[in-house]
Amino acid sequence: MCIIYLLLSIAPCMVFDADLAHNPTWMADIPDDVFLSSLSIPGTHDTMTYEIGSEVLQCQNWNLTTQLEAGIRYFDIRARVRDDELHIYHANGYTGFSFEDVVGYMNDFLDRNPSETIIMRLKQEGNGIGDNNTLSFEAAFNKYPLGDRLYNYSASDPLPTLGSLRSKIFVLQNFPAWRGGPYGLKWEGHQMILEDIWIIPDIYHLSEKWTAIRDALELAATAPLDNKVLYLAHISASVGVLPIEAAAGPMNRTVTGMNDMTGQWIKDFEDNEDTTRTGIVIIDFPGKKFIDAILRWNKSYTKKQA
């Protein structure tokens, strides 16, 4: 469906062409002592759905490596236990990838770009698949030898600095843990402010989604840089709309998509002296201009270093 938008020359400017963005080492220019919570970070929602084969479930059109090279640093990884291993799903739809695949792509990128960090929401997407499971989600996760790659986080710790996270994966833990946890920052815990209104009945209610996005961005942009919470805003929506329609708007262009609405807001307030950061902006089908607009909000830190 992305191709149809492009062939008809109706694709908005903030969608689809993340492959044209090239920001593989943007974190290298930011000092070690800057807190993760102070940064403006592009992310993807349902990161691994680029080959899922369903327009209802597809939320991305570029692979994980391309997303990483583009400058995206937050990834929404949703897994279920199947045959005592983690496999990546969106609801009941299998993406064709395993958690081992995801870790392999991430390790390869961080080996080549040790200045960077990866923030990974790891969500248990549902109960186990099939009759051959003996392991819980937590136990299946522990089969993967992440070792020093996994940032060792305690719930009593302050949110980390970028320097402590370089070449590591910082997990946002969205699964139950009883024995070895916590494995990262608790999803929807007290150190997180989250916007995730995703059930939209039809395209004409996207205005309600936009209000939620704008309010979340304004809060992140004007709140003190006190490192108390991590701000996350989902630009994605579905149910009564297809993810691609929420992102790009319908093909008849009667409603502006959330990517263009959000990207324009981010561009408009980029140099406002009263705004500081976007927080983590979680996107379906991001485009180059959207990614680059978010990253430009970090220029105050790169200027200080220079």
Q: Is residue 301 part of a domain?
A: no
Q: What are the tens digits of pLDDT across the range 11-66?
A: 678 999 999 999 999 999 999 999 999 999 999 999 999 999 999 999 999 999 99
Q: Is residue 4 part of a domain?
A: no
Q: What are the tens digits of pLDDT across the range 202-211?
A: 999 999 999 9
Reported for 87-94, long-range contacts at CB under 8 A and 24+ positions apart, including other chains, are 87/129, 88/48, 89/125, 89/126, 90/46, 90/48, 90/49, 90/52, 90/57, 90/59, 90/125, 91/57, 91/125, 91/126, 92/126, 93/49, 93/52, 93/54, 93/57, 94/52
Residue 2: which pLDDT band, with cuts at 50, 70 and 90?
A: confident
- R_g (Cα) of the chain, nearest Å: 18
Residue 9: which pLDDT band, with cuts at 50, 70 and 90?
A: low
pLDDT > 60? residue 7: no
261: which 2 tokens? 């609405």
- Kindly state the helix (H) or strand (E) to which residue 150 belongs, with its residue range: none
Q: Is residue 8 part of a domain?
A: no
Q: Is residue 183 part of a domain?
A: yes
Cα–Cα distance list, 143 to 97, 130, 187 (Å): 17, 19, 22
Cα–Cα dist 88/183, whole Å: 19
Q: Is residue 7 part of a domain?
A: no
Q: What are the tens digits of pLDDT across the range 272-305?
A: 999 999 999 999 999 999 999 999 999 999 866 6
Range of the domain at 206: 13-296
Number of domains in the chain: 1
Q: Is residue 226 part of a domain?
A: yes
Q: Is residue 177 part of a domain?
A: yes
Coil vs helix vs strand at 233:
strand
Residue 306: which pLDDT band, with cuts at 50, 70 and 90?
A: low
Residue 303 DSSP label? H
CATH of the domain at 78: 3.20.20.190
Q: Is residue 1 part of a domain?
A: no
